[in-house]
Structure 1
Amino acid sequence: MKSLLERRGVVVNGTLGVLLAGGVGVAYLSLGGDGEEPTTSGRTTTVSRGSLVESVSASGSVESAKSSALGFGGSGTVKKIYVAVGDEVEKGARLAVLDQTEAREDLEAARANLAAAAEEDTDSAQGYAGYVQAQNAVKSAQRALDGTVIYAPFAGTVTAVNGSVGESAGSSSSTGSSTAGNSSGTTTGSSGFIEIANPSKMKVEGAFTESDTTKLKVGQSATVTFNALSGVTANGKVTQISTEPTTTNNVVSFGVVITLTDKPAKVRIGQTSTVTVEVSRAEDVLYVPSAAVSTAGGQSTVTVLENGKPVVRTVTTGITGDSGVEIKSGLEEGDQVQLTTISGSTTSGNGGFPGGGGNMGGGPPGGGNMGGFPGGGR
């Protein structure tokens, strides 16, 4: 009697095991775990004809396209500053001056020496040399006096005053002379005693990626938008491309200057902006959305619907514009192409159930040997 009950228990357990294994298998197959390739959706679009524009973008801030950092051409104590930040000045306007006492005395002495040299015998070599030397001394003293004044080299707005009355100012950081009608000494550093900019001429320097920079050329058209001015745009042109790269967080970029060809009234120096440069254009060409093109190993393909069935075609592409990818060959206008999106999932391991063991066609989740029950030993 006992052996009969044991045999019945084995049969019942075996039946339950088969049913359980079969149920897990059906569930697994219904979840796409049969190892088949992913399928594609049926979204399609039509091959169109029109114009394509390829562009690259970068961000930057608005700067004056014409600015100068001005310094004194001589040394001395600052006597007077005639302007403040924000003042608008005309070309040739006096901006600041040093104490001129010593410079004037040196000029008077040089002129006296020149007058004395002129009365000497200038016909002799020695006399003529003395006269020329006295002339040069007068010129040098005049330059020193002129260098005590900073004049505006052009009409503009004062953007910085880096000094005050009574302090010493030297010519060690500036070069050139400062005479009315001519450019004042311009500092060799990043700032001068007074900085001036022309707000009517503006530029934006954008940091373009290494790959985008290879597509840029001086003279290309650009459009500038401003973060703080919704709907406001300005036109510009690429006027300078840096040859020295900048690396930030392992990203290489190049500075590119875009000079605005028109200036909206609300635009101010320092505002953040985005510049978009048109790098290529194709007119009257066939194109499809980028999502329709697959590229691998240097070869591009598009899935075309022929009699309702998807057929893969190799295509030759052109520029990649904002509206899609140019198709040079392989498609005809009006063709229906598929926008591929992947659905389904792939299996892991060697075709076993999720979580199964390493054996081919492994057991149910948590199983040990093939055909074992959940948590079973054999």
Structure 2
Amino acid sequence: MMRRFIPPALAFTCVLVSLSGCSGDGDDGARIRLGTVERGAVAETVEAPATLTAKANATLRSPAEGTVARLRVRDGDRVKEGQVLARISSPTAREQLDQAEEADRKAADGVAPPTGLAIADFKDEIDAIAERGFKKARQAAMAIEDPKERAKALAEITQAEGDYASAAGAAEAAVDRLNAGIGGVTAALSSIGAASRVQTQAAVKAARRTVDGLVLRAPFAGVVSLGGPSGGGNDALSGLLPAEIAGLTGDLAVPGAATDGSAVAVGAPVTSGAAVITVTDVSELRISADIDESDILKVERGSTAAADFDALPEAVYAAKVYSVGVTPKAGSGGGVTYQVQLDLAEGRLPDGAEAPEPKPGMSAVVRITVREVADVLVVPVAAVVSSGRDSVVWVDDGGKAVRRIVTLGAEGDGTAEVVSGLKEGDRVVVSGADSVEAGQDLK
């Protein structure tokens, strides 16, 4: 349930209105009280549930199955960008690198078609193997969580595909010349071998990247926690190395789906893609709020706001709108909401002392100031009664209640701006307005 309270911007407004008779705790709803319309300030706010998020969050995963060989951090440690956090021991990854390098050496020495297989058919088989390998490699690269590493892997695969296409074209031409009787078998096989080596070299590069990835480094400065959310593996080698060409046997793919251990310690086994360490950049904290569609058009970038957290209900934190989303999502009560990001500033306790810094993931309620007016006519919100589409205020006219339709402007938590229908000095019913009848004696 949302908590509502009058933000600091409205405290002054209520002081002004209190001079007009809106104060007086303990009055029951049936008692009629009058106040005087005066000038003041009103701040209109939009309130929404929110969650605190960090500037960045990265989960470091094991690129291959193995064990945790070294762990240099503990939960809550602050680390610098590039700092070594852990090392994974993976005989599987080392073996795959050795196999990839061996396959590349064999491809460099040339290939020979299997007995009884025509060179043209051998070329087609090589192309089919390459197509399957690159397709699997691209699928594996897409599973890499780190955007930079994913982009790097995809770029390498794209380059390898382009190099293979060029080499395959040369091999095709060599086979055509052989079939036309103007080329030799050696030249054709050499061209096919050059094409196959493009793929083996790409496999070596991917295998080396996996081995290098066994050393987990902080992608940016932040706070670490062991483990992390579950997710898929990130082995770009899987399916890339053509075992058929190299004459190798066995499955070279790294085991598939990753699992996240509940504890990470030296000697603990890890699967390919298993989360080992999560790094969170807390240098900037932002609030992610879901704003209802009925209010989103009022919110603008740069709008000021206040936030209070469930974990720190006595503290008030300043905030400012950083971005206003345009992608809708289904709201919990029907309709849609839009995400708004706010930069979080320092918070204050009731005694003025600095409030503790909240942690990412904490829930909050934000109140975004969408409109502020000063030196305008104001009345307590309790003075306004809705009557169909009209907003009505009961005015004291010679001691009798007179119904007055008003036009409202900015509406705050406790007060509302009156654009028309009243004038400064008018006496109005500010408590018990919903029980008043026309002509009722207000003396």
TM range (shorter): 0.5 to 0.7
What do the CA deviations read for 1:87-141 (whole angstroms, capped 9, x no partner)?
1111122222221433234324433443454455898431221221221121121
Q: AA paired with 1:244?
A: K
- Equivalent residue of 1:267, what SS? coil
Q: AA paired with 1:164?
A: A
Pair 1:344–1:70, CA change in 2 (3 A):
closer
Select the residue among 54, 57, 74 that pairs with 1:84.
74
Shift of 1:56: 3.2
TM-score normalised per structure 2: 0.55
Q: AA paired with 2:82?
A: G
| Structure 2 equivalent of residue 153 of structure 1 | 219
Contact 2:52/2:287 (8 A) holds in 1:
yes
| Structure 1 equivalent of residue 20 of structure 2 | none
> Relative to structure 2, which stretch is displaced further, 91-100 or 204-213?
204-213
Contact 2:35/2:428 (8 A) holds in 1:
yes
| Structure 1 equivalent of residue 272 of structure 2 | 171
| Residues 1:234 and 2:300 aligned together | no
Mapped to 2, the partners of 1:275 and 1:138 lie a distance apart of 52
| Structure 2 equivalent of residue 69 of structure 1 | 59
Pair 1:117–1:255, CA change in 2 (3 A):
same
- Equivalent residue of 1:65, what SS? strand
Q: AA paired with 1:267?
A: E
- Equivalent residue of 1:200, what SS? strand
Larger Rg: 1
Select the residue among 207, 211, 220 that pairs with 1:141.
207
| Residues 1:337 and 2:428 aligned together | yes
Q: AA paired with 1:171?
A: S
| Structure 1 equivalent of residue 16 of structure 2 | none
Q: Indicate the structure with greater helix content.
A: 2
| Structure 1 equivalent of residue 141 of structure 2 | none
Mapped to 1, the partners of 2:331 and 2:270 lie a distance apart of 34
| Structure 1 equivalent of residue 193 of structure 2 | 127
Q: AA paired with 2:321?
A: K
Instruction: State how 1:1-378 maps to structure 2 within 5 Å.
Output: 43-58=33-48, 62-118=52-108, 120=110, 124-161=190-227, 162=262, 163-172=264-273, 192-205=275-288, 216=299, 219-226=302-309, 228=312, 230=314, 233-237=317-321, 239=323, 243-245=328-330, 247=332, 256=339, 258-263=341-346, 266-269=356-359, 273-341=364-432
Shift of 1:204: 3.6
Shift of 1:278: 1.5
Shift of 1:58: 4.5
TM-score normalised per structure 1: 0.63
Q: AA paired with 1:165?
A: V
- Equivalent residue of 2:283, what SS? coil
Q: Structure 2 stretches of 5 or more lacking a match?
A: 1-29, 111-185, 228-261, 348-353, 437-443
Mapped to 2, the partners of 1:112 and 1:317 lie a distance apart of 81
Mapped to 2, the partners of 1:101 and 1:343 lie a distance apart of 79
Contact 1:75/1:171 (8 A) holds in 2:
yes
Contact 1:52/1:282 (8 A) holds in 2:
yes
Mapped to 1, the partners of 2:322 and 2:405 lie a distance apart of 37
Say how many residue pairs are matched: 287
Q: AA paired with 1:195?
A: T
Pair 1:106–1:41, CA change in 2 (3 A):
closer
- Equivalent residue of 1:201, what SS? strand
Pair 1:221–1:344, CA change in 2 (3 A):
closer
Pair 1:218–1:245, CA change in 2 (3 A):
farther
Q: AA paired with 2:276?
A: F
Give RMSD over aligned pairs.
3.6
What do the CA deviations read for 1:221-277 (whole angstroms, capped 9, x no partner)?
321235548555332326466833454xx7989585644343467314166654222
Shift of 1:44: 1.9
Shift of 1:218: 5.7
Mapped to 1, the partners of 2:187 and 2:381 lie a distance apart of 85
Pair 1:337–1:232, CA change in 2 (3 A):
closer
Shift of 1:84: 0.8
Q: Structure 1 stretches of 5 or more lacking a match?
A: 1-39, 174-191, 346-378
Mapped to 1, the partners of 2:387 and 2:406 lie a distance apart of 12
